[in-house]
C-alpha cells in the first residue's frame, strides 16, 4: 500500500497541508477537469514544440522544460492559483513569512526512453544553503497533464524524507511513484526527496510544475522577465501579486521612491508606500 496520502477536490486545505508537512507529499486526484488540461496544452503546444531538450542528465537529455506559463497560457491560471492548492500553500508557508510568491512555472515533457532523474530536494536550488531542518521555504506541485503511470515516468518520491540526511537520496528502495489520473496534482515541499521517473512508454509524459516560495527568497524563474509588466498588467490582481509584483515583507521589494510595485501595474505615479508616521503601509495579501 502506498504511503502517499490521497485526497479529492472536496478536501480541506488543512488536511492536505498536514500530510505535506508530515509525510512530505500528497496527491489530490482529478482536481481540474480534463478539458482544462486540454485547453492549456492547446495554448502551450507551439512553445513546447520550440523548446530544446535538456543539456544534462539532471534536466533530462530527452526532456523539454517550457516556462513562462503566465505569459503564454490563460488556462494555466486555473492551476497556478487553484484555491485548494493555494489554501494548502497558505498553511505550509504562511507561518514563515508575510508573503509568498511563484517560484517557477514549467511544463516538463519527458520523452520515451528517458532515464529517471536523480533524486534531489528542490530547495537545493538556493545554492545548497542549509536552512533550519524543520523550516519549509518552498512548496512544489506537479500537475498530471497526461495520466501518470509507473511506465511513463510518474514522479518518484520518498515519503517521510523531510528530515533525512542527504545520503537518503540513494535510498531507491524507499521510492514510491505518484501514479494519478490526468488533472490530478501531487504536492510536496522543498525538503522532500523526489525526482522525475523513467519513461519506458512509447509516448511523451507531460506535467506542469508550479512551485511557490517565501517572499524573501529569490524566484527560480524570474517572473519579471518571464511575465514582464506589460503582460502582468492584463492579469487579475491576485495573479499579479502571486507572480511577485506585491511587496514580500516590510520594506522588501519596493520600487524607486519606496512605492509598491502594484501601483505601477495600476498606472499610478508618485504614490509612496510610506504612511504618515514614516512606516510602510502593509499592502500585501495572500
CATH of the domain at 235: 2.60.120.620
pLDDT at 269: 73
Express each pLDDT in 175-190 by its tens digit: 999 999 999 999 999 9
126: in domain: yes
pLDDT at 282: 37
pLDDT at 270: 63
pLDDT > 90? residue 276: no
Q: Which three cell numbers stand for residue 202?
A: 512509447
88: in domain: yes
Q: Which three cell numbers stand for residue 139?
A: 512548496
Work out whether strand 100-110 and strand 63-67 pair parallel, antiparallel, or are unpaired.
Answer: antiparallel
pLDDT at 98: 94
Percent helix, strand and coil across the chain, each to the nearest 5: 30, 20, 50
What residues form DSSP beta bridges with 7? Answer: 28
pLDDT at 275: 44
- Angle at alpha carbon of residue 67, lines to 127 and 252, rounded to 5°: 50
Mean pLDDT over each residue of the chain, to the nearest integer: 94
Please state the rounded mean pLDDT for residues 47-52.
Answer: 98
Query: Are 193 and 272 in the same domain?
Result: no
pLDDT at 268: 86
Express each pLDDT in 247-256 by its tens digit: 999 899 999 9
Query: Are 110 and 158 in the same domain?
Result: yes
pLDDT at 35: 98
- Rounded distance, CA 241 to CA 285, Å? 8
In this structure, the number of other CB atoms found within 10 A of the CB of residue 244 comes to: 25
Query: Are 91 and 179 in the same domain?
Result: yes
76: in domain: yes
- Rounded distance, CA 126 to CA 106, Å? 18
Buried b (16+ CB within 10 A) or exposed e, 230-240: eebeebeeebb
Residues spanned by the domain of 265: 251-286
Q: Which helix (H) or strand (E) holds 36?
A: helix 34-49
Reported residue count of the chain is 286
CA 228 to chain centre: 19
The answer to whether residues 140 and 209 touch, using CB atoms and an 8 Å cutoff, is yes
Query: Are 223 and 281 in the same domain?
Result: no
Beta carbons within 8 Å of 248's beta carbon, 6+ residues apart: 97, 98, 99, 101, 214, 215, 216, 284
Query: Are 192 and 283 in the same domain?
Result: no
- Rounded distance, CA 88 to CA 196, Å? 23
Please state the rounded mean pLDDT for residues 59-84.
Answer: 98
Cα–Cα distance list, 123 to 103, 120, 252 (Å): 11, 9, 21
CA proximity to 210, closest of 81, 75, 71: 81
Which parts of 73-192 fold into alpha helices (H)? 76-80, 83-93
56: in domain: yes
Q: Which helix (H) or strand (E) holds 139?
A: strand 138-144
Work out whether strand 6-7 and strand 25-28 pair parallel, antiparallel, or are unpaired.
Answer: parallel
Q: What is the SS3 assignment for 94?
A: helix
Tell me which of 35-49, 134-148, 200-214, 247-261 is least confident.
247-261
Q: What is the SS3 assignment for 277?
A: coil
Please state the rounded mean pLDDT for residues 95-111.
Answer: 97
pLDDT at 79: 98
Query: Are 227 and 149 in the same domain?
Result: yes
Q: Which three cell numbers stand for residue 82?
A: 487553484
Express each pLDDT in 105-139 by its tens digit: 999 999 999 999 999 999 999 999 999 999 999 99
- Rounded distance, CA 180 to CA 11, Å? 16
Query: Are 263 and 222 in the same domain?
Result: no
Number of domain units in the chain: 2
- Rounded distance, CA 94 to CA 121, Å? 20
1: in domain: no
- Rounded distance, CA 35 to CA 1, Å? 31
Amino acid at each position: 500500500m502506498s504511503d502517499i496520502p490521497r485526497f479529492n477536490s472536496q478536501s480541506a486545505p488543512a488536511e492536505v497541508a498536514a500530510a505535506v508537512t508530515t509525510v512530505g507529499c500528497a496527491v489530490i486526484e482529478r482536481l481540474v477537469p480534463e478539458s482544462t488540461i486540454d485547453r492549456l496544452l492547446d495554448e502551450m503546444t507551439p512553445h513546447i514544440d520550440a523548446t530544446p531538450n535538456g543539456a544534462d542528465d539532471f534536466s533530462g537529455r530527452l526532456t523539454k522544460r517550457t516556462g513562462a506559463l503566465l505569459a503564454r497560457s490563460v488556462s494555466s491560471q486555473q492551476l497556478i492559483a487553484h484555491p485548494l492548492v493555494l489554501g494548502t500553500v497558505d498553511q505550509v508557508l504562511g507561518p514563515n513569512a508575510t508573503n509568498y510568491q511563484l517560484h517557477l512555472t514549467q511544463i516538463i515533457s519527458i520523452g520515451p526512453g528517458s532515464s529517471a532523474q536523480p533524486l534531489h530536494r528542490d530547495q537545493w536550488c538556493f545554492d545548497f544553503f542549509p536552512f533550519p531542518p524543520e523550516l519549509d521555504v518552498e512548496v512544489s506541485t506537479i500537475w498530471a497533464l497526461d495520466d501518470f503511470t509507473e511506465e511513463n515516468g510518474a514522479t518518484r518520491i520518498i515519503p517521510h524524507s523531510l528530515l533525512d540526511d542527504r545520503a537518503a537520496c540513494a535510498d531507491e528502495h524507499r521510492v514510491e511513484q505518484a501514479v494519478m489520473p490526468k488533472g490530478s496534482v501531487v504536492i510536496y515541499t522543498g525538503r522532500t526527496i523526489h525526482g522525475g521517473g523513467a519513461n519506458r512508454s512509447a509516448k511523451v509524459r507531460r506535467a506542469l510544475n508550479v512551485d511557490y516560495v517565501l517572499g524573501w527568497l529569490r524566484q527560480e524563474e524570474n517572473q519579471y522577465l518571464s511575465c514582464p509588466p506589460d503582460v502582468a498588467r492584463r492579469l487579475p490582481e491576485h495573479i499579479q501579486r502571486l507572480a511577485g509584483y506585491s511587496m514580500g515583507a516590510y520594506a522588501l521589494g519596493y520600487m524607486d521612491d519606496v512605492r509598491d510595485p502594484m501601483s505601477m501595474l495600476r498606472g499610478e505615479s508618485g504614490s509612496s508606500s510610506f504612511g504618515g508616521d514614516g512606516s510602510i503601509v502593509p499592502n500585501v495579501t495572500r
